[in-house]
Amino acid sequence: MDFTLNEELLAMKEAARDFTQKEIVPNADQWDEEHYYPIEVIRKMADLGFFGCPIPEEYGGINIGFLPQTIITEEVSRGSSSLRVAFNTQCLGTALSILRHGTEEQKKKWIPDLISAKKIGCFAITEPDSGSDVMSMKATAKPDGDGFILNGSKTWISSAAQAEVGIVYAYHDRDKGSKGLSAFVVDLRSDGVSATDLDKLGTRSSPTGEIVFEDVRLPGDALLGKLGDGVKICFSSLNQTRLSCAAGGVGLSQACLDTAVQYCNEREQFGQQVGKFQMNQELIANMATEIEACRLLTYRAAWQKDQGQMGNVLESCYAKFLVGETVTRCAHSAMKILGAYGYSTEYPVARFYRDAVVYQIVEGTVNVQKMIIAQDQLGYRKANR
Ligand code: GRA
């Protein structure tokens, strides 16, 4: 077993780190304060190939796989947790689903524009009354002539109001249960689509919103995969976006540790650096160790995908579960160490603290991850597909 990152991966990590230090870190607090979505920086990330790691070159990708994607996501999130969301909206929840399930025409039509961030993407699963319980969604896409009529509302969708294209999940036939759910690639500039931004505690440089579909006419070629493939596409897509989310949480946890360590070495009280106090050392040791465990789980799950194990739900859930718990602990520990400076806006810890919470909620709550893991262990339902 070899745990070393090869030269190529190290160079990639370094390049993502340099980009983040130069383009993101100096602006992240201001963007957050102004709720500003830095689309120009997202496009620069796209130019560097950040969103095309698992996408073949013929569709504009760089085809280097999931582990590099994970490492880049981690580094970007170390500068701004908000910007890690773009890896899901431009690639893992959108372009990658089209790559895996779409027709040749759909791949050519949508993937290059998504991974180059020429078009902003989104994926729409959650509804006002359907969060953890995905199958209870109410949106419908009734077959009509050679197309479909889409109705329903989706909420907590990243880039809802900015996106031009969305992967939308809806029932074409509710009576068929899970076989009645389908996935659609929807042009969000179509008549009958409206979207609004929602306000939220953190991740404020990545907009989140609600989309309403009122009698939206979808052409037949909007269907992704076959009729009834919605469940398969939805859960396999969540298995990729969850891991990317875990990578973002590792990056944010590392940012908490970086800031706490720097402060411990600078700040003096009672005649010595505050890092000399054992109670702060305990916080630093816990953070460092837990982050390393999260990183290893995350890299392992990414590596499995590069070996072709795309259905590694269990291992992705291990990573996402531990990251969700770790990142909130790390933000809390950084706040304890920095004290009033953490609470102020002089340091980025207040932003880290607000951004950390969402890792317990998005892409399946911590409780959903625990449910999937426990049911697998107890033999009730295998997680991996
Ligand atoms: O047997 P069947 O034909 O009825 O099908 C079932 C099952 O076999 C059906 O789905 C199938 N299935 C899968 N198929 C392929 C389940 N998992 C897979 C899979 N991996 N691949 C229903 O399954 P079920 O297990 O009976 O469903 P359930 O008991 O109703 O719920 C399961 C569960 C709670 C785990 C699921 O609903 C779930 O994962 N919920 C969490 C939802 C979630 O993660 N939402 C996140 C939304 S996206 C988001 O947050 C984006 C934020 C923005 C950003 O950060 O990017």
Residues 321, 369 contacting (CB under 8 angstroms): yes
pLDDT bin (cut points 50, 70, 90) of residue 272 is very high
| pLDDT, position 159 | 98
| pLDDT, position 197 | 98
CA dist 112 and 98 (Å) reads 11
| pLDDT, position 277 | 98
| Structure confidence by residue, pLDDT tens digits, 47-91 | 999 999 999 999 999 999 999 999 999 999 999 999 999 999 999
Residues 141, 159 contacting (CB under 8 angstroms): no
pLDDT bin (cut points 50, 70, 90) of residue 343 is very high
CA dist 87 and 362 (Å) reads 14
Q: Establish whether residue 91 lines the binding site of ligand 1, counting it when its CB lies within 6 angstroms of any ligand atom.
A: no
| Structure confidence by residue, pLDDT tens digits, 135-169 | 999 999 999 999 999 999 999 999 999 999 999 99
CA dist 42 and 90 (Å) reads 10
Please give the distance, rounded to the nearest whole angstrom, from the Cα atom of residue 46 to the centre of ligand 1: 29
Q: Establish whether residue 232 lines the binding site of ligand 1, counting it when its CB lies within 6 angstroms of any ligand atom.
A: yes
Mutate which of 122, 154, 235, 243 for ligand 1 pocket (most atoms within 8 A of beta carbon): 235
Please give the distance, rounded to the nearest whole angstrom, from the Cα atom of residue 240 to the centre of ligand 1: 13
| Strand extents, DSSP E, 172-221 | 181-187, 193-198, 208-218
| pLDDT, position 80 | 98
- DSSP structure string for 218-286: EPGGGEESSTT-HHHHHHHHHHHHHHHHHHHHHHHHHHHHHHHHHHHHH-EETTEEGGGSHHHHHHHHH
| pLDDT, position 254 | 98
pLDDT bin (cut points 50, 70, 90) of residue 367 is very high
Domains of the chain as residue ranges with CATH: 7-115 (1.10.540.10), 121-226 (2.40.110.10), 232-378 (1.20.140.10)
Percent of the chain, pLDDT > 70?
Answer: 100
What is the overall mean pLDDT for the chain? Answer: 98
CA dist 225 and 172 (Å) reads 13
| pLDDT, position 382 | 97
Within the chain, residue ranges assigned H as helices are: 7-19, 28-34, 39-47, 66-79, 85-87, 95-101, 104-115, 230-266, 278-306, 313-338, 340-343, 349-356, 366-377
* Nearest Cα residue to atom 19 of ligand 1: 235
Q: Establish whether residue 73 lines the binding site of ligand 1, counting it when its CB lies within 6 angstroms of any ligand atom.
A: no
Q: Establish whether residue 264 lines the binding site of ligand 1, counting it when its CB lies within 6 angstroms of any ligand atom.
A: no
C-beta atoms surrounding 198 within 10 Å: 13
Q: Establish whether residue 358 lines the binding site of ligand 1, counting it when its CB lies within 6 angstroms of any ligand atom.
A: no
| pLDDT, position 62 | 97
Q: Whole-model pTM?
A: 0.97
CA distances from 202 to 29, 196, 212, 338, 358 (A): 11, 17, 24, 20, 8
